[in-house]
Amino acid sequence: MRTQKDITQEELAKFLNTTKQNIYKYENNIITNIPSDKIEQMAEALDTNSSYIMGWTDYNGKNNNAKLRDVAKKSRSDISSVRINVYGRVRAGFPQEAVEDIVDWEDIPKEWTIGNKEFIGLRVEGDSMAPKYIEGDTIIIQLQPDCESGQDCVVYVNGCDATLKKIVKQQDGILLQPLNPNYLPQKYDYNDEECPVTILGIIVEIRRKV
């Protein structure tokens, strides 16, 4: 529809105050949980309505009842769940800057959030935590600033470089232990000001698409 109206991705991105990359992800279903304000802006830019953008009505305004029934059914089934964002990728290898774009979403049991617990999803990249974690896995992370020794965690090194590792707490420092024997562990002193390690959260679940 965008191309039919001779609108480029750059032009639509500017109208929505977002990036060309996000427009590409919207159009190719890489990002499926599009913010409602973006849907409304997109409908305005393309001279249509939000329902058509979401595929709930066809172009001449007739209701797509099958689609609406599917959405209603899913809404009823999701009452006991909470939807969380899945962000970019976290490297299961040498630390690198985590990508913060939202690339997907996952549903988690609502009971997990009791006590104001917070969760996010991240995509795994690399093979240093194989075979337990493989590239493309989505890991569900409970956000918390500490962990038990032996737990798998996402940690920040240098304040911005994120990596997935097994955490081994030692008397004089913290060891980031890969599960793949082809990789060496990385050790950091607790008081290392040049290369501080902070814990983002612990892994509570791995989700793998087959």
What residues act catalytically? 128, 165
Nearest-angstrom CA–CA distance, 106 and 127: 23
Nearest-angstrom CA–CA distance, 124 and 104: 13
Q: What would the DSSP string read from start to end of 153-168? A: EEEEETTTEEEEEEEE
Q: Tokens at residue 175, please?
A: 């060891």
Q: Tokens at residue 84, please?
A: 């969380």
Helix pair angle (36-45, 9-16), 10° resolution: 130
CB 125 within 8 A of CB 93: yes
**Among 114, 167, 181, residue whose Cα is nearest residue 142:** 114
Sign (positive/negative) of CA torsion 192, 196, 201, 206?
negative
- Residue 170 pairs with which residues in a beta bridge? 173
Nearest-angstrom CA–CA distance, 209 and 136: 8
